[in-house]
Structure 1
Amino acid sequence: MDLKGKRSLRSIFIRYILYFILGTALLLFLDMMTFSLMLNSKIVLPANYFEQKIESSRDTILKADIVTKDMIPEGCSYGVYNESGKMLYGNFNSKASQNAWNTIQGNQNSSGRNHYYKVFHRDKQTCIVEYSLTAQFSHPLLRKYFMNPELFIGILFICLFIGEVLLLSARFGRYFSKEMKILMKATEQIKKQNLDFQPEHSDIREIEEVINSLNQMKSALKDSLEKQWNMEKSRKNQISALAHDIKTPLTIIKGNAELIKETCQDAEQVKYNDYILKSADEIQHYLKMLIDMIKSEDTLVLRPVRIETKVFFQKLVDQEKALASEKNLELINEQDKIPEFFYGDEELLYRAIMNVITNAVEYSPKKGKLLFKVQGTEKSLKFLIADSGNGFSKEELEFATEQFYRGDKSRNSKNHYGIGLSIAKSFIKLHQGEIELSNSTKMGGAQVVLKIPLDARI
């Protein structure tokens, strides 16, 4: 997509900085206007108000026999001293009285901390009036219990400034988060392997560039996956066609071999003919498994239902007994803390577990032992199958669940084609579960654990 008209992150940051500067300037202006209005409406007295009031009372203070409190502006303190510096009367406390006299004797009119003094030299007496040069509220109660107006205006500005920062930050955060969500939606769709969506577009140039890159990657990935899917479909079709083509000559071979068996009287020839029939049955069994596997991959759909655990376990045990009867195996069937029910595709789970049980029976020696245990935990349900055979080799522990893998042990088996564990793994993965291979210390042979979660209905 054309990036013209898109804003860069740099321009967006500059815009918000300008907003911040203009907002701060506006706050300063409003602060000053508020203070000015308070002065004009006489809510606040100017900083030199008390100084002017004191000056206006100068003649009264100088001519009066005794300086009284009503001659002094409200909010000011005073003291009348003799020539030796002793305070004769006034409303200074002892510390303030001494501080005021020492300041005047030092030819100063301020003792710091906003304390200023006016001096009136009377007949053998000195009157000192203390005042402040800060704006004050005109109302006495406000002056007594509230902060001075200058501090109030300063705190008001700080509060408004913090509010401005928070407001601009929240607005920028919402704007940027909205644009980032567009990017996250695109990545989420790709993660879900939904490659047919059209991504939304961002107003920010840098994010739009990333979206364009993701769009190109999506298209390339879609083309690659479609090519892979088509190749996989073609491979399955070829295998399926080949399997069906083999069935025709195999049927002819098997039919002729059975005809020879019925008509031939030569014992040696009958013996070799039996080998042909047995091998033909094996090939036929293999082709059936191969065709079933291809069909299951194409049409496999998970249909979870509520499964009664004990009923399902008993169904598996009954089939296990039938399989194990030929080898006269000792069956050990156990249940441990199993839930009353669980959710899953009963048919697929049954096929997965029976594939593992069939392998376990096959690799168990005659009159050996076979352990089948179902165990419940807080979050999962486990189906454990262990035999008393030779166990897995190191290589088999790594590759036994791969399709068509056949380890050394498999080569000695006429009925094993490296498919059973692969099918079991795929069915369990559909249930968001996992398969674990190990060697059983208890039984001495191979051990397979099929585990499915209980915390979701899949």
Structure 2
Amino acid sequence: MEIKKTSMQAYIIKFIFKIAFCFIASLLAIFLIFNYMINLHILLPSNYSQQMVEKSKETIKNAKEVTSELIPENLNYVILDKQTLNVKNGSMSDSEIKKAKLSVKDPQIGTNVYEVIERSKEYCVIHYHLAVQFKNPMLRKLIPYPEIALIALFIIILLIALYILSLQFSNRIKNRIKQIQLCY
């Protein structure tokens, strides 16, 4: 029986290159899936809510009364009296209302935004996140941060690829050892 003269070092180098290829291919696949989902409007860009608030700002400022129909879809809001900061109307939870009242006095910059729209006798505060999110409200509640889900998917794909490559590598080594044992 003739033994193929391939060194252990060559097996290891091939294994490392396969791992690198799997890593790059998985990363590229996740990137393409993410872009595909944005292009099909399955995912909304991170500034989508901000754009919707900007478009409706003038309408809200000039409206006789602020109603939920004036507020962009899927966003929470509260109407606060300008003098007392008492709640007149809105859809925010109590904890969000506390943050909204604080944002009237001291606007915060970050990904968790409370946009204050000043009106003649009241403030309209709209809450939104600067984050990529699903267009579908059910998916948005189920998976609030799609980027994290895609990173988890990347890790799962990579772990599966590493497992398969490890099995291949160990089988090659076993076969190589058997060939050497048969020769001696």
Q: Kindly indicate whether the alpha-carbon contact (under 8 Å) linking 1:115 and 1:131 is maintained by their aligned counterparts in 2.
A: yes
How many residue pairs match? The answer is 183
Give the Cα–Cα distance (whole angstroms) in 2 for the partners of residues 147 and 183 of structure 1: 55
Secondary structure (helix, strand or coil) at the match of 1:67 reads coil
The gaps in structure 2 that reach 5 residues or longer are none
- 1:167-219 Cα distance to aligned partner (Å, 9 max, x none): 110110111111112234x3xxxxxxxxxxxx3xxxxxxxxxxxxxx4xxxxx
- 1:362-393 Cα distance to aligned partner (Å, 9 max, x none): xxxxxxxxxxxxxxxxxxxxxxxxxxxxxxxx
**TM-score, normalised relative to structure 2:** 0.90
Q: Kindly indicate whether the alpha-carbon contact (under 8 Å) linking 1:45 and 1:138 is maintained by their aligned counterparts in 2.
A: yes
Asked if residue 150 in structure 1 is aligned to residue 147 in structure 2, the reply is yes
Query: What is the aligned partner in structure 2 of residue 432 from structure 1?
Result: none
Query: What is the aligned partner in structure 2 of residue 91 from structure 1?
Result: 91
- Higher relative contact order (CA closer than 8 Å, sequence separation 6+): 2
**TM-score, normalised relative to structure 1:** 0.38
Asked if residue 21 in structure 1 is aligned to residue 30 in structure 2, the reply is no
Structure 1 residues 147, 116: closer, same or farther in 2, change over 3 A? closer
Q: For residue 76 of structure 1, report the CA deviation from its aligned partner.
A: 1.2
* Amino acid corresponding to residue 81 of structure 1 in structure 2: L
Q: Which has the larger radius of gyration?
A: 1
Give the Cα–Cα distance (whole angstroms) in 1 for the partners of residues 72 and 164 of structure 2: 45
Give the Cα–Cα distance (whole angstroms) in 1 for the partners of residues 169 and 144 of structure 2: 36
Equivalent in 138, 162, 187 of residue 135 of structure 2: 138
Give the Cα–Cα distance (whole angstroms) in 1 for the partners of residues 152 and 161 of structure 2: 14
Secondary structure (helix, strand or coil) at the match of 2:15 reads helix
- 1:262-304 Cα distance to aligned partner (Å, 9 max, x none): xxxxxxxxxxxxxxxxxxxxxxxxxxxxxxxxxxxxxxxxxxx
Q: For residue 146 of structure 1, report the CA deviation from its aligned partner.
A: 3.6
Moved over 6 A (4+): none
Query: What is the aligned partner in structure 2 of residue 179 from structure 1?
Result: 176
Q: For residue 82 of structure 1, report the CA deviation from its aligned partner.
A: 1.4
Query: What is the aligned partner in structure 1 of residue 6 from structure 2?
Result: 7
Structure 1 residues 95, 181: closer, same or farther in 2, change over 3 A? same
Q: How many percent identity over aligned positions?
A: 28
Asked if residue 123 in structure 1 is aligned to residue 120 in structure 2, the reply is yes
* Amino acid corresponding to residue 100 of structure 2 in structure 1: A
Secondary structure (helix, strand or coil) at the match of 2:52 reads helix
The gaps in structure 1 that reach 5 residues or longer are 187-198, 200-213, 215-458
- 1:319-378 Cα distance to aligned partner (Å, 9 max, x none): xxxxxxxxxxxxxxxxxxxxxxxxxxxxxxxxxxxxxxxxxxxxxxxxxxxxxxxxxxxx
- 1:393-439 Cα distance to aligned partner (Å, 9 max, x none): xxxxxxxxxxxxxxxxxxxxxxxxxxxxxxxxxxxxxxxxxxxxxxx
Structure 1 residues 96, 57: closer, same or farther in 2, change over 3 A? same
Give the Cα–Cα distance (whole angstroms) in 1 for the partners of residues 6 and 65 of structure 2: 78
- 1:2-50 Cα distance to aligned partner (Å, 9 max, x none): 99x7222122212211111121011111100001001111111111111
Query: What is the aligned partner in structure 2 of residue 106 from structure 1?
Result: 106
Alignment of 1:231-250 (within 5 A): none
- 1:40-99 Cα distance to aligned partner (Å, 9 max, x none): 111111111111011111111111122111222222111111123222211112221011
Pairwise CA RMSD: 2.0
